[in-house]
Amino acid sequence: MRWKGATVMVALMTITMAVGQQPKVRIVLRDKVAVANPIVRLGDIAEVIALSDEGEKLLPTLLDLPIAPSPLPRYQRVLTTGEVATKLAQAGWRNSEFILDGAKQVVITRTGRTLTASELESLLQKALNTPVKLLLTPPPIIIPDGEVSVQTELPPSPRSLLSVTLLVNGQPVANFKVLVQVGSNEQFTVGNQPQIANHQSPVAAFLVRRRQTVRLIARVGKVVVEAQGMALQDGKLGDEILVAVAWSKTPLKGIVSGEREVTISAW
């Protein structure tokens, strides 16, 4: 009888342990997904199925579990099952509490598009409520899908280097500066007197002097190339001037974009 009692106790303990180790959820990874948010969460890359009442309660938290940063818009990154399992372990999940199934790796693409120069001009005009013309085409700006807007301030001079904050769905996604012509000269004067007279402003001053060594900047796609040249003319912000370079007998045309700095389209 003692032997039978011990057998029953062992059987009951085995059943209890088996019940305790029963997985709470089954996680089925997808092979490819496209996300819009800057953070990839488990619900983005997998279907999560509750296998118990406790798993059902934990489902919302598990779906919202951050797994990794999203790639840049229109770029990809790959997440392996090992990386997902590591994130689950860091969140306090034991291996016995979940079944990780589906694809061996997930290819994640961030949705997005390139902001055009004409669109940026329109956004700046709307924000400043005055005509705006880009004097230099900005480098390619890739943004996630959504409602785009900008934040900036009306400058003290028609020709200015604007600091711009780009927002998508109300969230800032990029900060940059653009050289623009804002409104017209008449909008910044009252009679014959300027509304803002700041002769020390870099907008009003010559930022490049003749025979001065200047930094040349050329943008080719996302690549920025720099070199040195010698200015052949004085120039204020936004002025087009000629610059001599050592490798060419023909001077290059460029736009003054900063102190001792000239931006050119190509060389």
Give how far Cα 41 sits from Cα of 34, 60, 79, Å: 12, 11, 12
- Provide the CB-side half-sphere exposure for 221 (13 A, CA): 1
Asked whether the predicted pLDDT for residue 189 surpasses 50, the reply is no
Cβ(179)–Cβ(238) under 8 Å?
Answer: yes
DSSP state of 227: E
d(CA 192, CA 168): 41
Residues 6+ apart with CB under 8 A from 189: 195
pTM of the predicted structure, to 2 decimals? 0.52
User: Any idea which fold 21-110 has?
Assistant: eubacterium ventriosum atcc fold (2.60.480)
Burial, 221: exposed, middle or buried (Cβ in 10 Å; 0-12, 13-18, 19+)? exposed
Asked whether the predicted pLDDT for residue 13 surpasses 70, the reply is no
User: Any idea which fold 206-264 has?
Assistant: SH3 type barrels. (2.30.30)
Asked whether the predicted pLDDT for residue 191 surpasses 50, the reply is no
Question: 50-64, 155-169, 216-230: which range is least confident on average?
Answer: 216-230
Taking only the tens place, the pLDDT of each residue in 93-117 is 999 999 999 999 999 998 888 889 9
Q: Which of 61, 54, 55 is nearest to 26 (CA)?
A: 55
Dihedral sign, Cα of residue 131, residue 132, residue 135, residue 140: negative
SS3 112: coil
Domain ranges of the chain: 21-110, 114-194, 206-264
What's the pLDDT score for residue 265? 72
53-67, 148-162, 209-223 — which one is most confidently predicted on average?
53-67
What's phi and psi for 113, nearest 5 deg? -155, 170
